[in-house]
Structure 1
């Protein structure tokens, strides 16, 4: 009997130090019932009875651990403050929405507030607020702008030179842009653009920063990264100035190289390769506003119609007749002459070849061609010979693609060609 009492006291003292552990509480209770019979329990020196340590007491320690792991401030703002981590249980399936609505609409409060969850009425109110905010955000007009993002910068080694080639994506923000346009330019291309703009638009260029040349470390990763960000800011700044964003020099920097490359590829019969360059040129012209013909000078209009006509030719040669007819129709919508211009024989050089191509394409894909047939008939009635006209491909191959300075560069001699 004495041995039982001594052994029980030792075990009791050892386990008393572990009383805050959940498993120790269970083990203590089981050993106590095994070692001692009814009425033989030793007296406790700290005044606690056996019923002071139920098995549920292990929840106390779990709560302490949770509060330590989640230490910090979770703050929701506003009149109806949500401080309880269990508030979601009261709000049902919309608990996430309620929390987001509370965080959007309200002002920050102390986390010492009693952890009382929102009532169902408050929860429904928050949900309605969130839904109203969502509906208003969908109908709100998001301003569109162009983003110029350098996505790659690679060091290119040639026979007698070494330079960094920057890949720049031109993206329309405000909507999901499924067709971003891409250009590749080197430092000398940017430098030429800057010098031309300064020469022609000196006053507007006074506040425009351009990254200077370095004597060394031009190919260091840090230098390339800084220049990439600088070129993004440079193009964004230029495009933000109304006096510069529609100038021929600025526009041609983006798309003229693709036009020249597309024409050279068409001349050697590589229509699939030419298609890539010409489509990219069209995307660039669209994003830069070149489809708004009233804002363009005569040369920019020539570039726009050349792009559409070249795409018609490439799609036609690749037997993609629907795409060819679509671009042909787009060009003719703007090229169709007024009655006065028709009587004075003031017709665009590409008008008759495009009309003839559109009539043939529309016939092949079973589209209505009566409007363009009627226009061809009117042109013929004005005494213009439509039978001895060069076809569309011949016109495009012979075309000289000039820039705003009247220069025509051959492929390989121009740094404008990507």
Structure 2
């Protein structure tokens, strides 16, 4: 697989007729990453059955030691870009490889849809589709774009995240603290003193991150770990809340829909009863989409997401008598009644539930509306962090 991708990469860089002749010793010098990438892929894949390791990175350990970098950099040597012309974002040599990989994935998905046995179940694939070098003042890092897709079908709506090395490193540290036994056999790709922005390093790390996330997702305990799930979607939720607060509803819709896709693909719906925090995040996502679509005058989409939230959130009459209604229940019911009336849809079920709540002594007129509930919500993570970040800072 790696050799095919590298061959596609070489043909992208060199037009027909300009490719180095086969057997030419110079070809190995022009593409030093070739043997390293193949060896690294084989080694990582072989380890997926047990210990996950990225020892293929040791190829570069012989590089001269450089000056230590600041704490917010992916590189241990700030001057790396000066002697490495491949580190420029505009001419990043990883892009052709990643585009080729994306094309190959689509072809495989189409083939699977037509040929796979019906008993083959879908699984989640994590694919790095782009990696670009970002310079922010004295800090320099690589930003990786990952697509989260379902295999087994042609996934037309992949969810997308952008993360940097330090984000993966933070995830690894949190998982080790909370799930020490499950993380015992998982090793993380380490930083280097030099060549952090070299094409072969970025390519190997891209593949390493794909393998890392796939391995975590293959472990039953870690697949449903709140820390693992929040790594994907919580940044989008915080960004969506910020956009909702300032009235930028169209932008918020895009961010929140991506967060919803991420939660769906990672199977958050199946673990809501066991993970209260993820349950709160799920309903916050749906309710925020309802609020945004309302303000954008898109009542059909607003009512669709409202109805979806209430199907899981609305308690039975017996449960309603035993405990107070969830915070978002009343504003969602009131919104759904108005939306259903506007689009001529049956609203009697939700009116009856509102009546039941009122008979329990709840003053419906004094309840905050949906948007007021959402902008005041504290979106904390599994470690209690409620610090809100913009999307750019979080990724």
- Indicate how the Cα distance of structure 1 residues 182 and 234 shifts in structure 2: closer, same or farther if over 3 A, else same: same
Query: Does structure 1 residue 267 correspond to structure 2 residue 245?
Result: yes
Query: Does structure 1 residue 159 correspond to structure 2 residue 137?
Result: yes
Give the distance between the partners of 2:116 and 2:388, measured in 1 at CA. Answer: 49
RCO higher in structure (CA 8 A, sep ≥6) = 2
Query: Does structure 1 residue 144 correspond to structure 2 residue 122?
Result: yes
Query: Does structure 1 residue 338 correspond to structure 2 residue 316?
Result: yes
Give CA-to-partner distance per residue, 1:341-382, whole Å, 9 cap, x none: 311342110000000000000000011101001111111111
Any idea what SS the aligned residue of 2:252 has? helix
Q: Alignment partner for residue 182 of structure 1, among 147, 160, 171? A: 160
CA positional deviation for 1:338? 2.2
Any idea what SS the aligned residue of 2:152 has? coil
- TM-score, normalised to structure 2, is 0.69
Any idea what SS the aligned residue of 1:286 has? helix
Give the distance between the partners of 2:117 and 2:196, measured in 1 at CA. Answer: 48
Residue aligning to 1:120: none
- TM-score, normalised to structure 1, is 0.66
CA positional deviation for 1:210? 1.3
Give the distance between the partners of 1:236 and 1:314, measured in 2 at CA. Answer: 33
Any idea what SS the aligned residue of 1:407 has? coil
8 Å CA contact 1:169–1:182 kept in 2: the answer is yes
CA positional deviation for 1:233? 0.1
Give the length in aligned residue pairs: 284
Residue aligning to 1:371: 349
Residue aligning to 1:360: 338
8 Å CA contact 2:176–2:183 kept in 1: the answer is yes
CA positional deviation for 1:206? 1.3
Query: Does structure 1 residue 405 correspond to structure 2 residue 393?
Result: no
Residue aligning to 2:264: 286
- Deviant stretches of 4+, over 6 Å: none
Query: Does structure 1 residue 199 correspond to structure 2 residue 177?
Result: yes
Residue aligning to 1:214: 192
Residue aligning to 1:67: none
Gaps of 5+ in 1: 1-133
Give the distance between the partners of 2:114 and 2:193, measured in 1 at CA. Answer: 54
Residue aligning to 2:231: 253
Give the distance between the partners of 1:293 and 1:238, measured in 2 at CA. Answer: 17
Give CA-to-partner distance per residue, 1:306-338, whole Å, 9 cap, x none: 000000001111111100000000000011112
Any idea what SS the aligned residue of 1:410 has? coil
What is the alpha-carbon root mean square deviation over aligned residues?
1.9
Give the distance between the partners of 1:151 and 1:414, measured in 2 at CA. Answer: 18
Gaps of 5+ in 2: 1-111
Q: Alignment partner for residue 301 of structure 2, among 323, 327, 331? A: 323
- Indicate how the Cα distance of structure 1 residues 204 and 378 shifts in structure 2: closer, same or farther if over 3 A, else same: same
8 Å CA contact 1:290–1:296 kept in 2: the answer is no
CA positional deviation for 1:291? 1.4
Residue aligning to 2:361: 383
Question: Which entry has the higher C-alpha Rg, 1 or 2?
Answer: 1
Give matches, 1:97-136, under 5 Å.
none
